[in-house]
């Protein structure tokens, strides 16, 4: 199975990248299933039901999230019954939504998607993602042929540790959150594809998505100002996974970075 995992979709530029580029990528690469991290898609922070519907129409099947999930409050009632939007599984049990979902891709092949959030340097109190992912795997045991994990975290050490923790038990562990694509993609010895960060899908004439002049000024003056999303040099970033359906193990992982003309 060919799976495209798209890195943090940022603002209007990220949405444009999905709408313009994803249909062509799916046709050219023979992609069967698409997952995207969408926590930044609404003006750089949060997401809305309307935007989720737009991206589903463009070809995204599943959405993972992270620390900006609740920034747009209209997502709260939506996620309670959503069959495509997944919150981090290590949020409190009282949080709305689910930390994992199974998707029927085609006859006999089901894909389990698990969303996690790191604890290190994230500025938010969450439970251990390691304990949470073990719990989710036990919960769904035998009910999915392929398992994908989004580790939304700041520290590369925490992401890398999660890759080793799950090696041989899932098809892929991919990192999100930092908006900078890393060059450490590999298939680990047990058959789990790994990359520390998928990168950002959005404007690269920016500081991780935000207007660069405003971001630089904030660093130089140390005076707070509300940053605005940038718009230039739009790219779609992520990774293409080739997974053996009979074993649930990854055969390859290839970084994707496509400019949107």
The one catalytic residue in 61, 68, 152, 177 is 68
> Whole-angstrom Cα distance, residue 46 to residue 247?
36
Of the candidates 4, 8, 33, the residue with the CA atom closest to the CA atom of residue 210: 8
**Residues 146-166: pLDDT tens digits?**
999 999 999 999 999 999 999
Report pTM: 0.96
Q: What pLDDT does 246 receive?
A: 95
Provide the pLDDT confidence category of residue 129 given band limits of 50, 70 and 90.
Answer: very high
Map out the domains of the chain with their CATH numbers. 2-259 (3.60.21.10)
Provide the pLDDT confidence category of residue 87 given band limits of 50, 70 and 90.
Answer: very high
What is the 3-class SS of 58-80, one letter each residue? HCCCEEECCCCCCCCCCHHHHHC
Active site residue 61: no
């Amino acid at each position: 199975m060919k799976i495209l995992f798209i890195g943090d979709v940022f603002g209007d530029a990220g949405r444009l990248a999905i709408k313009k580029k994803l249909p062509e990528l799916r046709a050219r690469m023979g992609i069967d299933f698409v997952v995207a991290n969408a926590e930044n898609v609404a003006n750089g922070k949060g997401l809305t039901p309307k935007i989720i519907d737009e991206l589903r129409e463009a070809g995204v099947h599943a959405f993972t999230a992270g620390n900006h999930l609740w920034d747009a409050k209209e997502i709260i009632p939506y996620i309670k019954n959503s069959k495509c939007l997944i919150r981090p599984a290590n949020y409190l049990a009282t949080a709305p939504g689910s930390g994992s979902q199974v998707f029927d891709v085609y006859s006999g092949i089901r894909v389990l998607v698990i969303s996690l959030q790191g604890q290190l340097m994230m500025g938010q109190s969450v439970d251990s993602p390691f304990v949470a992912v073990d719990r989710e795997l036990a919960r769904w045991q035998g009910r999915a042929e392929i398992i994908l994990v989004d580790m939304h975290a700041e520290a590369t050490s925490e992401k890398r540790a999660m890759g080793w923790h799950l090696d041989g038990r899932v098809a892929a562990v991919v990192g999100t959150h930092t908006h900078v694509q890393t060059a450490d993609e590999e298939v680990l010895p047990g058959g789990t594809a790994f990359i520390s960060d998928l990168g950002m899908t959005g404007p690269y004439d920016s500081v991780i998505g935000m207007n660069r002049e405003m971001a630089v000024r904030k660093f130089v003056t140390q005076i707070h100002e509300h940053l605005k999303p940038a718009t230039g040099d739009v790219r779609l970033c992520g990774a293409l996974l080739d997974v053996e359906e009979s074993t649930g193990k990854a055969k390859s992982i290839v970084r994707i970075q496509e400019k949107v003309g």
